[in-house]
Amino acid sequence: MQVTNLGESPVETVALVEQAEQRHRGPLLNALRLLSRNSKIATGLVILLLFVLMALAAPLLTPYPPDGPKSQVAHGAQPPSPEHILGTTSLGQDMFAQIAYGARVSLLIGFVAATGSTLLQVLFGLSSAYFGGLIDEVLSLLINIFLVLPGLPLAIVLASLASASGTGKNEFVIAMVLLFTSWAYGARVLRSQTLSLKEREFVTAARSMGEFTWRMIFSEILPNEIALVASTYVGTFVYALGAEVALEFLGLGDVSRASWGSILFWAQLNGALITGQWWLFVPAGLCVALVCGALTLVNFGIDELANPSLRQAIPRKLRKLLKARAVVA
Amino acid sequence: MRYLLRRAGFYLIALWAAITFNFIIPRLMPGDPLQNYIAKLRNQGMSQATIIALRKEFGADPSVPLWQQYLDYLNALLHGQFGTSTSEYPTPVAQILSQSLPWTIGLVGTAVVLSFLIGTLLGILFAWRRGSWYDTTLPPALTFLSAVPYFWMALALLYVFGMMLNWFPTSDAYDLSNFPNGPEWSLDFIGSLVQHAALPVITLIIGTLAQWVLTMRNAMVTTLSEDYLLMAQAKGLPGPRVVFAYAARNAVLPSITSFSISLGLVVSGSLLTEIVFNYPGIGYHLFRGASESDYALIEGGFLILALTVLAANFLAELVYSTLDPRIRHGRA
C-alpha cells in the first residue's frame, strides 16, 4: 500500500481511509461493524440476542419456578391472564416461566451440538480434501454414508438406547446424539471448497516455505473459507435446534425438566389440541420458529457478505462518504 | 454401466454400515441397555421363558462370542426376522413394519413429488420474472416457513383446519368406521384416503418447498444468461419452449443432485408429521416404540427407513444419469 496512491480517485481514497480506520479499530470491533452493517445479519442477531437475554434473565422476568415440586402455582391449565401471561400447563405450572427457563436448555443443546458438529466438519472436511489419496477415499465414504442415512431415525435409535443405558435421559446425551448425526453435510461442503483452495498459489507458496501441515490447514486454508464455516455453523444450529425439540417432543429427553421440546411433549400428551388449549403449544413452537427464522436470516446475510455479487447496492455509509469526497475534490 | 455398478456398491456399503451401527450401538453404550431393558421387562411381569427367548433374539447372550452374535444377527436380518415387538407383544416387528411402510412411502412419495414439481415450477417462474414483486417477496417468506419445525407446523394445521374449521379429519389414514374391513378399491375409499392424507402432505410440502424453489431459481438465473438461450430467443422460438426445453432442462440438474439430502429430511419430517396426525406409518410406530422402549421395533424401523431412503437415492441417481450423459461417461 503506497501513500502516493492517495487521492488519485475517490473510490480508492475511500477504500484506503476505510482500511486505515479498520486497522485502527482492531479486529473485534471491525467484525462487529461488518456484521451490523448488513441488515439481515443485524436483524437476525438482535432476535437471537433477545432470546439469549430472556434465557439468562429468566429469574428476573418471572417469579415462578418452571419445574420441580414447587412449580404448581395454579389449578390445572388456565388460559392467559394478567397473572400468568401465557397461561398455565395442565400441572398448573406457569407457561412463561417454562418458556423462559426452557430457552436455556434448548439454546444450550443447540449451541453445544452445533459447535461440536462444526469442529467435526472442519476436521473431516479439511483433512479429507487436503491429504487426498486413501485418507480422502475413506473419509469421503464415511461422510457420504452419514449423508444418506436418515438422520432423525438414527437419532431416535441413539437417544432411546442411551436413555435406557443407565446414563439417564439428559441434555448431554441429546446434544451428543445431534452432534453425531449432523456433521456430514457441512463436512462435504467444506471438503469441496478445500479441494479448490488447496490448488491456489498462496498454499503452494506456504508449502514451499516449509510450513507445518497443521499450520497450512488451519492458518492458510481455514481462514479463507471462514464464511462457509460460519454459514454451515448457523445451518447446523438450525438443524440441531429443530431436531432437539423434535427428540424432546418424542419424550426422549428429560421430560420432567422444562424445555421447549418437553413443553410440546406434555401438550401433546394431555391432548391440548383436542381440548383447544392453544396456549400450551403455540408459544413454544413460535419461539423455535422465530429462533430458526432469525438464524436463517443471519445465513442469508453471511452469504451476501461472502458473495458481494448478491448484494444489491453500495452500502449507504460508503455512498455518503463517496459523495462527500467527490464534493471536496 | 461401470458408474452404476460403483454407485450400487456404495449403497451396499452404506446399507452394511446402517446394519452394523444397529448391531454395535446397543453393545457400545455404557451400562448395558439390553440388561436394563430385560430387567424392565421382568418388572412388567413377562414370564422367564419369554425373557430368555427375547434375550436370544437380541443375541445378547454373553456366552456367545461377539462375531458369532454378529453373524447370527446378519442371518436373521437376511431372513426378514427383526425380532418380536414388546410394546405390541407378541406381534413380530417385521409384520408391524410391513403394514406401516406403505403408508409412510405413500406420504413421503406424494409429498416429495408434489413439492418437487411445485417448487421447481415456482423456481422457473421466479427466475423468468426476476425482480418482480413475487420474486422478491415469496422466496424469503417460503424460507421462513421452512424454518418452522415440521411437527409444530403439523400441530398448527391440525388445530386450525382439523379442530377449529373441521375441514379435515384429525387422525388415521382412512375412515375406520366406514371401511372396517380395511383398504378396498372404490372411489369412496380413495376419497377418504386423499382427505386423510391432505394435511400431512401439505405440512411436508410447506417444509420442503423453499429448498426446491431456491435451488431451481438460482440454477435458472445462471442458465438464462447462457449464449444458447439468447440464440433460442433470437431464432424467435416461443417463450414457453425457450423456458422449458432450453433453460429448465439444464437448470434442473442441481435440484436432482440435492434430492438425496432432501429425502432424508422429508423422511424425518414425515415421522413427526405421522405422530401428530396419528397416521399409521412407521413414524407412529417408532414413537410408540420409543415411549415404551421397544428396541426391536425402533431398530427395525430405522433399518427399514434406511433401506428405503438408500433405494430411493439409487433411483434418483439412475434418473440423473439418464438426464445428464456426462455422468455416465465419467466426465462430470
Residues of A in contact with B293 (CB under 8 A): 160, 163-164
C-alpha span between A22 and A318 (Å, rounded): 14
Pick the more confident residue, A328 or B90. B90
* Per-residue pLDDT reduced to its tens digit, B276-307: 888 888 888 888 887 777 777 888 888 888 88
Contact yes or no for A156 and B290 at CB 8 A: yes
Task: Report pLDDT for A160.
Answer: 79
C-alpha span between A287 and A299 (Å, rounded): 18
Task: Report pLDDT for A237.
Answer: 92
Which residue spans within B48-105 are E strands per DSSP? none
Using CA atoms of A221, A226, A229, A235 in order, give the dihedral in degrees to the nearest 10.
Answer: -160
Task: Report pLDDT for A70.
Answer: 75
Mean pLDDT, chain A, rounded, equals 80
Predicted confidence band at A313 (pLDDT cuts at 50, 70, 90)? very low
Contact yes or no for A281 and B298 at CB 8 A: no
Residues of A in contact with B217 (CB under 8 A): none
C-alpha span between B307 and B312 (Å, rounded): 9
Contact yes or no for A149 and B32 at CB 8 A: no
pLDDT at residue A49 tops 90: yes
Q: Which residues on adjacent β-strands are paired with residue B92? A: B84
Residue A109, C-alpha cell as written in the block: 443443546
Q: How many residues does chain A have?
A: 329
Task: Report pLDDT for A54.
Answer: 92
Supply the DSSP symbol for A258.
-
Contact yes or no for B271 and A153 at CB 8 A: yes
Task: Report pLDDT for A310.
Answer: 54
Among A3-12, A204-213, A241-250, A288-297, the range scoring the smallest mean pLDDT is A3-12
Instruction: Name the range with the highest mean pLDDT among A218-232, B35-49, B126-140.
Output: A218-232
Contact A145, B13 (CB under 8 A): yes
Calculate mean pLDDT across residues B222-236. 87
pLDDT at residue A5 tops 50: no
Cα distances (Å, whole numbers) of residue A133 to A130, A213, B97: 9, 16, 41
Rg for chain B (alpha carbons), in Å?
24
pLDDT at residue B259 tops 60: yes
Judge whether A242 is closer than 8 Å to chain B, CB to CB. Answer: yes
Residue A115, C-alpha cell as written in the block: 459447535
pLDDT at residue A51 tops 90: yes
List CB contacts of B111: < 8 A, sequence separation 6 or more.
B200, B201, B204, B205, B208, B266, B270
Among A116-120, A261-265, B77-81, the range scoring the smallest mean pLDDT is B77-81
DSSP string, B277-304: HT--SHHHHHHHHHHTT-HHHHHHHHHH
Share of chain A above pLDDT 90, in %: 11
Mean pLDDT, chain B, rounded, equals 81
Which stretch of DSSP H or E encloses residue B266? helix B259-277
Cα distances (Å, whole numbers) of residue A166 to A251, A258, A326: 16, 21, 72
Judge whether A186 is closer than 8 Å to chain B, CB to CB. Answer: no
Identity of the residue in B155, B268, B302 whose CB atom sits nearest the CB atom of A273: B155
Which chain B residue has its CA at the smallest distance from A280's CA? B155
Which stretch of DSSP H or E encloses residue A321? helix A316-328
Mutate to test the interface with B, among A148, A170, A236, A282 (most CBs of B within 10 A): A148
Contact yes or no for B264 and A160 at CB 8 A: no
Task: Report pLDDT for B330.
Answer: 57
Contact yes or no for B147 and A296 at CB 8 A: yes
List CB contacts of A11: < 8 A, sequence separation 6 or more.
A322
Task: Report pLDDT for A169.
Answer: 58
Give the number of beta-carbon pairs within 8 Å between A and B.
Answer: 159
Among B41-50, B93-102, B223-232, the range scoring the smallest mean pLDDT is B41-50
CB atoms within 10 A of CB A226: 11
Cα distances (Å, whole numbers) of residue B328 to B2, B11, B214: 8, 17, 27
Calculate mean pLDDT across residues B164-176. 78
* Per-residue pLDDT reduced to its tens digit, B101-118: 888 888 888 998 899 999
Contact A182, B268 (CB under 8 A): no
DSSP string, A249-310: HTT-S-TTS--HHHHHHHHHHTTTTTTT-GGGTHHHHHHHHHHHHHHHHHHHHHHHHH-GGG
Residues 29-48 of A with CB under 8 A from B: none
Judge whether A252 is closer than 8 Å to chain B, CB to CB. Answer: yes
Contact yes or no for B17 and A145 at CB 8 A: yes
Identity of the residue in B29, B37, B310 whose CB atom sits nearest the CB atom of A162: B29
Contact yes or no for A252 and B147 at CB 8 A: no
C-alpha span between A144 and B165 (Å, rounded): 45
Residues 289-318 of A with CB under 8 A from B: 289, 292-293, 295-296, 300
Whether the predicted model's global pTM rises above the 0.90 cut: no
* Per-residue pLDDT reduced to its tens digit, B263-278: 877 888 888 888 888 8
Instruction: Name the range with the highest mean pLDDT among A92-96, B27-31, B257-261.
Output: A92-96
Give B295→chain A minimum CA distance, Å. Answer: 8
Predicted confidence band at A2 (pLDDT cuts at 50, 70, 90)? very low
Task: Report pLDDT for A153.
Answer: 85
C-alpha span between B168 and B202 (Å, rounded): 12
Is residue B141 exposed (0-12), middle (13-18) or buried (19+ Cβ within 10 Å)? exposed
Pick the more confident residue, A202 or B260. A202
3-state secondary structure of B84: strand
